[in-house]
Amino acid sequence: MAEQVGEMVTVEFAVGIGDGQFKASATVPAGQTNLTQILPVLQSLSSSFIEGVTAQLAESGQPVSCRAGCGACCRQMAPISIFEAEALSAWIRTLPEARQEQLASRFHQALVALGAAGIIDRMVEEDWQAETESARKLALDYLYARVPCPLLEEESCSIHPIRPLICREYLVTSPPEHCADPAHLQVVPVHLPLNFSRILKAIGKELEQDSRGWIPLVFLFAWMKSGARPGDAVAGTGPQVLYEFVKRMSEAVNRVRANDVAGGE
């Protein structure tokens, strides 16, 4: 269902999750746009979905413990889709030159620190998404290198309204301080039945056959130099682009459900 107002159009949709549904509406450009350009819409949908999950958890006595000012998880490797890399690159180019230089320097320092800890070479070689012992070890070693995200300022995200989807989706119900030492303290992550970041990464991987469809956030300034514009490859009217995303999200949910059923047999 779509309702057009001026050059924007509001689209309503629903994605089935188990016995329930995620029903939402989104206002997108009626005319030509692309996946990177409608990223703010996806961020807003992701946030409203997460708010619903967070409220349910609070009601069931398992409140999410993540709070402003806790940047413990911001020392992990943050995988961002190439579309988010494109959007963040465009945003950085709008900043005053002095701020751009400051950020470039922080990203450089983070890479130097990770290099000194022997992490960078392994980051390039390892498949982070693989459920392997070495991938898990690399993720832990990255965290214990204690290199803060270059966008973390005074333990808060300096780009909070436009932060990547993966950062929105990382939530825990365990004590926040546990996130700084997951090898010894139990961390209880929140399972989200809809994972917006994963869908974007999968679309990116389809576009770039020889890549993973994502980059570690700390590589952003290096990636920017490529001038890549992956969003153009998923273009159309606003409703068409949103449909592409929602369709893949539904397919992903159905795949997980089919696997669960097969696993339960």
Question: Under the rule (CB under 6 A), what is the footprint of ligand SF4?
Answer: 74, 78, 149, 151-152, 157, 159, 163-164, 167
**Least gap, CB of 26 to ligand SF4 (angstroms):** 23
SS (H, E, C) 116-182: HCCCHHHHHHCCCCCCCHHHHHHHHHHHHCCCCCCCEECCEECCHHHCCHHHHHCCECCCHHHHHCC
**Least gap, CB of 212 to ligand SF4 (angstroms):** 18
Q: What 3-state DSSP class applies to 254?
A: helix
**Least gap, CB of 162 to ligand SF4 (angstroms):** 9
CA distance 161 to 185: 30
Between strands 32-34 and 20-29, the pairing is unpaired
Q: Which is nearer to ligand SF4, 11 or 77 (CB)?
A: 77
Q: Which is nearer to ligand SF4, 148 or 236 (CB)?
A: 148
**Least gap, CB of 169 to ligand SF4 (angstroms):** 11
Q: Which is nearer to ligand SF4, 39 or 241 (CB)?
A: 39
Q: Which is nearer to ligand SF4, 50 or 74 (CB)?
A: 74
- What sign does the CA torsion over 133, 135, 137, 139 have? negative
Contact, 16 vs 253, CB < 8 A? yes
Residues 6+ apart with CB under 8 A from 247: none
The dihedrals phi and psi of 214, each to the nearest 5 degrees, come to -150, 165
Q: Which is nearer to ligand SF4, 3 or 155 (CB)?
A: 155
Q: What 3-state DSSP class applies to 50?
A: helix
Contact, 260 vs 254, CB < 8 A? no
**Least gap, CB of 205 to ligand SF4 (angstroms):** 21
Q: Which is nearer to ligand SF4, 179 or 242 (CB)?
A: 179
**Least gap, CB of 27 to ligand SF4 (angstroms):** 25
Q: What is the DSSP letter of 31?
A: S
